[in-house]
Amino acid sequence: MKNINISTLARMKRDGEKIAMLTCYDAGFVPALEQAGVDVLLVGDSLGMVVQGHSSTLPVTLDQMVYHTACVARARTCAFLIADMPFMSYAEPRQALDTAARLMKEGGAHMVKLEGGESQLPTVKSLSGQGVPVCAHLGLQPQSVHKLGGYRVQGTDSGSAGAMRRDALALQAAGAQMLVLECVPAELAQEISGLLEIPVIGIGAGRDCDGQVLVLYDVLGLTPRMPRFAKDFLQGQGSIAGAAAAFVEAVRTGTFPEPGQVLR
């Protein structure tokens, strides 16, 4: 594979080529995922749940995110690398700049991801203005799980759907170069993907986004309670690389997510 950068991902959106993204938390999985053709590796704060055993992403620290990002960065050769900014590490723009600096300088990330809409516009603008590539995150925001009252589909009524559209456009205008939509009705996700010039990656948001992301442990069937929008791709493959390749193929051909996995 050729080295993938933000320009590559923007070109893939323009050409209608689907982007395949998986979470990754350590060096050991990187060769198999790159061999399978995964475009983007996300060092997600989901590691708090699938690696550390917490019930949410909230306990994950910045030091831990820097550590895991650096582990992945040392092994990567071609995939684009995004790191989550953990809970309360970007409460205001100055703090966000310090957090991003650590994730990129010490961790080796190519881009940082943060959750939130309108309230994050000054932070996104500040980061972008300092040359930090930003991936925004709308819909279900795991760091706000207690405020949301649980892991629920977002944007199901006209008011919240309209707010999400406005937030997506505003985040793009502020400098975000990618957007993740999580647990959003497929019709809304399709509309937002069409409105934006930047790549839109879905997780539980239908098949009409510009790409798909899943938690690696879901793809490998290791999650005790599999989310409805996920799938065990290891069945019938016999290897981690085979499971990742099956995921990439399903994303590229638009066969994932399947109709039964679409949230409403």
Catalytic machinery residues: 182
Q: 72 near 51, Cβ under 8 Å?
A: no
- Cα–Cα distance for residue pair 61/41, rounded to 1 Å: 19
- Cα–Cα distance for residue pair 108/70, rounded to 1 Å: 6
- Cα–Cα distance for residue pair 123/231, rounded to 1 Å: 34
In sequence order, the 6+-apart residues with CB closer than 8 A to the CB of 190 are 206, 208, 209
In sequence order, the 6+-apart residues with CB closer than 8 A to the CB of 250 are 231, 233, 256
- The answer to whether the peptide bond before residue 185 is cis (omega within 30 degrees of 0) is no
- Cα–Cα distance for residue pair 252/256, rounded to 1 Å: 9
